[in-house]
Amino acid sequence: MIIAAHGEAGARLRDFLDRRRDDIIGSWVETGFFGEAAGDAAADVRADCENVLTALSHVVETGNLHDPAAEPFQEIRALLGGLAAQQARQGNTAAQITANLTWLKEPVLRLWLDEQPEGQQRTEDVLALSAALDTLRLVVMETAVTEGADIIAHQQQQLAEMSTPIIKLWKGVLAVPLIGTLDSMRSQAATESLLQAIVDQQAQVAILDITGVPAVDTMVAQHLLKTAMAARLMGAECIISGIRPQIAQTMVQLGIDLGEVATRASLSDALAYALNRVGLSVTPAQRG
Partner 1 sequence: MHQVGEVPVLDLGGVLLVSIQVELLDDTVLALQQDLTERVAETGARGVIIDISSVDIVDSFLARALRDIAAATEVLAARTVLVGMRPAVAITLVELGLTLPGMTTALSVERGLELLDTRLDENYPTRQG
Partner 2 sequence: MTTTAASRVVQVSSEMDIVRVRQAAREAAVEAGFSLVEQTKLVTAASELARNTLVHGGGGQVSTELTVQQGRTVIRMVFTDSGPGIADVDQALADGFSTRGGMGLGLGGAKRLVDHFAIETGPDRGTVVTISSAARRGRRR
Longest alpha-carbon distance in the chain = 108
Distance CA 172, CA 222 (A): 25
Residues in the chain: 288
Helix intervals (H) in the chain = 7-19, 21-31, 41-62, 71-75, 77-89, 94-100, 102-115, 120-162, 184-201, 218-234, 245-254, 267-277
Picking from 102, 103, 85, the residue whose alpha carbon sits closest to that of residue 94 is 85
Min. distance of Cβ 153 from partner 2 in angstroms?
2
By C-beta, is 110 or 226 nearer to partner 1?
Answer: 226
Min. distance of Cβ 150 from partner 2 in angstroms?
6
Distance CA 236, CA 216 (A): 24
What mask, x for binding partner 2 by CB under 8 A, covers residues 12 to 41?
A: ------------------------------
Min. distance of Cβ 220 from partner 1 in angstroms?
16
Q: How many chain residues touch partner 1 (CB under 8 A)?
A: 19
Min. distance of Cβ 243 from partner 1 in angstroms?
21
Partner whose binding site includes residue 25, from partner 1, partner 2, none (CB under 5 to 8 Å by kind): none
Instruction: Mark 17-40 as b/e (b = at least 16 C-beta within 10 Å).
Output: beebeeebbebbbebebbbebeee
Contact positions with partner 1 (CB under 8 A) in 174-213: 191-192, 195-196, 198-199, 202-204
- Judged by CB under 8 A, does residue 69 bind partner 2? yes
Distance CA 222, CA 16 (A): 66
Partner whose binding site includes residue 234, from partner 1, partner 2, none (CB under 5 to 8 Å by kind): partner 1
Picking from 67, 162, 59, the residue whose alpha carbon sits closest to that of residue 108 is 59
Contact positions with partner 2 (CB under 8 A) in 183-202: 185, 188, 192
Contact positions with partner 2 (CB under 8 A) in 146-165: 146, 149-157
Single-letter residue type at 48: D
Q: How many chain residues touch partner 2 (CB under 8 A)?
A: 15
Min. distance of Cβ 203 from partner 1 in angstroms?
8
Q: Strand order in 237-241's β-sheet?
A: 167-170, 173-179, 205-212, 237-241, 262-264
Partner whose binding site includes residue 153, from partner 1, partner 2, none (CB under 5 to 8 Å by kind): partner 2
Residues of the shown chain interacting with partner 2 in the complex, contacts defined by CB under 8 A: 69, 142, 146, 149-157, 185, 188, 192
Residues of the shown chain interacting with partner 1 in the complex, contacts defined by CB under 8 A: 191-192, 195-196, 198-199, 202-204, 226, 229-237
